[in-house]
A and B are shown apart, each in its own frame.
Chain A
Amino acid sequence: DGGITQSPKYLFRKEGQNVTLSCEQNLNHDAMYWYRQDPGQGLRLIYYSQIVNDFQKGDIAEGYSVSREKKESFPLTVTSAQKNPTAFYLCASSTPGGGSIEAFFGQGTRLTVV
């Protein structure tokens, strides 16, 4: 079945540590996105990538980094510079044509700083 897989589902981080959230898709989508969800804040865009080896900052990129070495994969690293990383993180992908213009989402990763 085609879809987006995020791992792990739950992640705990000690202060000062970097952690990497995985996102893999087998939908053959060109674009991939990372959103952060906090209570009452909706979904806010962290980074997005429209093609391999290229990505752009979203509205809240500070303290995060990404890479896009393969079309299928778009990992997100939460660095120690992110002062308030506890949140729910959603990865999504999309394609510009073919009658399917919506974004498809993974099941999310809940990150908690301990």
Chain B
Amino acid sequence: AQTVTQSQPEMSVQEAETVTLSCTYDTSESDYYLFWYKQPPSRQMILVIRQEAYKQQNATENRFSVNFQKAAKSFSLKISDSQLGDAAMYFCAYRRWAGNTPLVFGKGTRLSVIA
């Protein structure tokens, strides 16, 4: 079974600075998807970024980018120019390539942004 580990329960960053959230995963499969979701105080789950394992290029969405290291099974999220609205729980998730299968989530990292 696949597992996802987020080793940082809490992180903080100064406004306008950069922060990196860590995620590692365990799988024996070669093709899969990885995601970062954001859960603000409203508790609505919002997709931040996704990465297909077959793609070597790291995904980027505006101020959010990932560092995908397939051999190391690492998938970190970098948030640049942090804003107060970035404060939230962040979840890393894994999904198998084949079929319509459930996402497997890490336990989350709570990010605080300091003004």
**Which A residues form the contact surface with B (CB < 8 A)?**
30-31, 33, 35, 40-45, 48, 50, 58, 88, 90, 92, 94-96, 101-103, 105, 107-108
Given contacts A101-B33, A107-B43, A107-B44, contact A31 B100 (CB under 8 A): yes
Set of chain A residues within 8 Å of B100, measured between Cβ atoms: 30-31, 50, 94-96
Identify which of B50, B105, B107 contacts A101 (C-beta below 8 A). B50
Bound-state CA distance A83–B6 (Å) is 28
Given known A40-B107, A42-B107, A48-B102, contact A105–B9 (CB-CB < 8 A): no
Q: How many residues on chain B are close to A (CB under 8 Å)?
A: 23
CB distance from A9 to the nearest CB of B (A): 10
By secondary structure, the B interface counts as: loop
**Residue among B33, B43, B101, B102 having the largest count of chain A Cβ atoms under 10 Å:** B102
A102-B103 Cα distance, complex, nearest whole Å = 8
Given A44-B105, A96-B100, A107-B44, 12 more pairs with CB closer than 8 A? A30-B100, A31-B101, A35-B105, A40-B9, A40-B107, A42-B6, A42-B106, A43-B91, A43-B103, A95-B100, A103-B95, A108-B44
